Amino acid sequence: MITIKKPEEIEILRQGGRILAGILNDLIKAAKPGAKTIELDQLAERLILENGGIPSFKNYKGHADDRPFPTTICAAVNTQLVHAPAGDYALKTGDILSLDLGMKYPAQGKGFFTDMTITIPIGRVSPLARKVIKVTKTSLEVGLAQIREGNYISDISRAIQNYVESEGFSVVRQLVGHGVGYEVHEDPRIPNYLDPKQPPVQLKAGMVLAIEPMVNVGHYGVKTGADGWTVETADDNLCAHFEHTVAVTKDGCEILTLP
């Protein structure tokens, strides 16, 4: 079921999103050569708790029989796309790192969920790495430009796919954006490609959406790594991921995950 958030609920989401964006900025500053992704994870958890929130990824289970996700952030490096737990990996110059972070805010009472992702270079990176980061970031902006009351999810999907493919890259099919707010994942499903099987969903003011293009340098296929969580490119090429939580308005959208 697609939910419409009330203005007072969007205000809480706005507050949480602002806090989350500030925390992500702190993680970006700490993501230097030599830093371990588990150190970034520990920093993220501490900052979330200090700011009155709860990590929404740690211990998350998509289904009752799933193993709980072990860390606060997803820290995907190079050919890893999403859902990579933080660990002992030490970042090095030339890596690209996707930091995916979610929070329930406030921790007490009825909290609301926001979600965001950025892919960043670690030190000097290759021209191809710079390009996939730039294209993925721009594809998010292109998708957001399609959001306004009366448009359709397919308008977002088409715009992202057309732009990414015009730059010679591919859009991941197996993973999509989603509604967010009351839960970590809600309806509607938001593909980053034009899916003929997707029923038409018209955008309405008050919808809160996580728009998250995931872009591969090579083929769009992905695989799950040996840990059972990390999603990687099937052909071991580079990939990138950007995400904002946004509220649909009559004239466009408001990005809720801004500092």
Q: Is 141 marked within a binding site? A: no
Confidence of residue 259 (pLDDT cuts 50, 70, 90): very high
Contact status, residue 123 vs residue 94, Cβ threshold 8 Å: yes
Known binding residue 63? Answer is no
Cβ neighbourhood burial of 67 (10 Å; 0-12, 13-18, 19+): exposed
pLDDT value of position 249: 96
pLDDT digits 0-9 by tens, 159-187: 999 999 999 999 999 999 999 999 999 99
pLDDT tens digits, one per residue of 199-252: 999 999 999 999 999 999 999 999 999 999 999 999 999 999 999 999 999 999
195 annotated as belonging to a binding site for a ligand: no
pLDDT over 90 (residue 15): yes
Q: What is the pLDDT of residue 60?
A: 96
Closest residue by Cα to residue 51 from 86, 17, 85: 17
For the chain, the average pLDDT equals 97
Find out whether 251 is annotated in a ligand binding site: no
pLDDT tens digit sequence for 79-128: 999 999 999 999 999 999 999 999 999 999 899 999 999 999 999 999 99
Residue 63 has pLDDT above 90, yes or no: no
Q: Is 26 annotated as a binding residue?
A: no
The response to whether 100 counts as a known ligand-binding position is yes
Written as six digits, the tokens of 144 are 């957001």
Output the CATH code of domain 7-255.
3.90.230.10
The answer to the question of whether 241 is labelled as a binding residue is no
The phi-psi region of residue 109 (left if phi > 0; otherwise alpha if psi is between -120 and 50; otherwise beta) is: left
Whether the model pTM is above 0.95:
yes
* Residue entry with tokens 């965001």: 116
